[in-house]
């Protein structure tokens, strides 16, 4: 056989062996990219509908988000995946009773800012969003046994949504109790004074989480904290200025449980607590915020 024929055969063998030796993952095609649609929003949430491509997303998907300002300040680039400032949510399709294994063209809606870690398949590192803020989003479909993960959708920061503006309205004490990350930054940094005693934000949350159990001081504190949070959040507090001053005077130097062991009779606090509750729920004052 001529030398050039031998060289052709040898090259063919090398090509075949090289292909056979390539790792299996290198031969897997990626899943088709997802489609993201921005839906309704509130002051602290944005709905994102995730739609799978023709290959589906049988193992679920992951969402990432950051503020548009962070994206711009970072040179219109996403934070690195291991950067704790990058918000992420994994919606696994592998968990029992998960609603996230998507067939071709199937969709699932996720409410960013109102995720629940007890929902099957959901894990995340960020909670509520900030009011009056624009966010950018991107997502990818998780890899499967036969397909690599999809490319990011929205990797250029083109998919965005905004929370509703921070306005002069009030939230109930129940809202503030369950939306700690939405508290005004000044309160998170410096806390509040109730009576003549100063409390950190964490201590205030612990008071919210303590049932009144017949202690009028605690029930009054719940409404007073909420009223002061609403005012710090921009709500007009003129309708309850007198009630707040009276509540602070009644509490005085008592230290509220569980931070301390202060106590007041419910009969002594019911009237003031009722006025503050009417403000927080929008019966008086600027009105209740849509949650």
**CATH number reported for the structural domain that contains residue 141 in this entry:** 2.60.40.10
Residues 79 and 155 in one domain: yes
Q: How many CB atoms lie within 10 A of CB 222?
A: 26
Question: Does one domain contain both 191 and 135?
Answer: no
Please check whether residues 153 and 186 belong to one and the same domain: no
Q: Is 87 among the domain residues? A: yes
Q: What is the pLDDT of residues 13-69, one digit of tens each?
A: 444 444 444 455 458 999 999 999 999 988 788 999 999 999 999 999 999 999 999
Q: Give pLDDT, residue 116.
A: 80
- Condensed to tens digits (0 to 9), the pLDDT of residues 78-91 reads 999 899 999 999 99
Write the pLDDT tens digit of every residue in 257-278: 999 999 999 999 999 999 999 9
Does 141 share its domain with 203?
A: no
Domain-located, residue 229: yes
Question: Which domain does 153 fall in, by range?
Answer: 35-162
Are 215 and 143 in a shared domain?
Answer: no
Q: What end-to-end distance do the CA atoms of the chain give, in Å?
A: 83
In-domain check, residue 66: yes
For all residues of the chain together, what is the average pLDDT? 90
Q: Are residues 146 and 39 in the same domain?
A: yes
**12 pLDDT above the threshold of 90:** no
Q: What is the C-alpha to C-alpha distance for residues 67 and 130, in angstroms, rounded to an integer?
A: 9
Same domain, 140 and 251: no
| H, E, C per residue of the chain | CCHHHHHHHHHHHHHHHHHHHCCHHHHCCECCCCEEEEEEECCCCEEEEEECCCCCECCEEEEEEEEHHHHHHCCCCCCCCCCCCCEEEEEECCCCCCCCCECCCCEEEEEECCCCCCCCCEEECCCCCCCCCEEEEEEEECCCCCCECCCCECCCCCCEEECCCCCCCECCHHHHHHCHHHCCHHHHHHCEEECCEEECHHHHHHHHCCCCCCCHHHHHHHHHHHHHHHHHCCCCCHHHHHHHHHHHHHHCCCCCCCCCCCCCCHHHHHHHHHHHHHHHCCCCCCCECCC
In a domain, 206, yes or no: yes
User: Is the confidence at residue 142, as pLDDT, over 50?
Assistant: yes
State the total domains in the chain: 2
Query: Global pTM?
Result: 0.55
The pair of structure tokens assigned to 137 is 């989003």
Are 54 and 153 found together in one domain?
Answer: yes
Are 153 and 177 part of one and the same domain?
A: no
Instruction: Give the pLDDT confidence of 156-203 residue by residue, as tens digits.
Output: 999 999 987 666 789 999 999 999 989 999 999 999 999 999 999 999
Are 102 and 189 found together in one domain? no
CB 88 within 8 A of CB 52: no
Lowest-confidence pick of 5-14, 234-243, 255-264, 276-285: 5-14
Q: What pLDDT is stored for residue 16 in this prediction?
A: 46
Residue 80 CA to residue 122 CA, distance in Å, equals 21
């Amino acid at each position: 056989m001529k030398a050039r024929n031998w060289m052709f055969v040898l090259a063919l063998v090398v090509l075949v062996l090289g292909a056979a030796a390539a790792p299996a993952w290198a031969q897997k095609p990626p899943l088709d990219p997802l489609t993201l649609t921005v839906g309704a929003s509130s002051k602290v949430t944005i709905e994102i509908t995730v739609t799978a491509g023709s290959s589906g997303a049988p193992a679920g998907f992951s969402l990432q988000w950051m503020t548009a300002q962070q994206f711009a300040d970072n040179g219109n680039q996403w934070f690195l995946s291991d950067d704790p400032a990058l918000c992420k949510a994994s919606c696994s399709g592998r968990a029992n009773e998960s609603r996230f294994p998507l067939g071709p063209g199937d969709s699932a809606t996720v409410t960013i800012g109102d995720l629940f870690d007890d929902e099957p398949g959901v894990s995340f590192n960020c909670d509520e969003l900030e009011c009056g803020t624009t966010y950018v989003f991107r997502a990818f479909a998780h890899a499967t046994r036969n397909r690599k993960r999809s490319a990011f959708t929205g990797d250029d920061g083109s998919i965005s949504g905004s929370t509703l503006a921070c306005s002069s309205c009030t939230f109930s004490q129940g809202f503030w109790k369950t939306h700690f990350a939405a508290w005004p930054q000044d309160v998170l940094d410096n806390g509040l004074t109730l009576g003549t005693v100063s409390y950190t934000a964490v201590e205030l949350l612990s008071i919210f989480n303590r049932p009144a159990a017949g202690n009028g001081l605690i029930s009054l504190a719940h409404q007073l904290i909420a009223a002061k949070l609403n005012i710090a959040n921009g709500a007009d507090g003129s309708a309850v200025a007198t009630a707040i001053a009276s509540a602070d005077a009644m509490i005085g130097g008592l230290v509220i449980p569980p931070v301390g062991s202060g106590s007041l009779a419910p009969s002594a606090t019911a009237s003031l607590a009722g006025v503050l509750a009417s403000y927080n729920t929008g019966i008086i004052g600027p009105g209740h915020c849509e949650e």
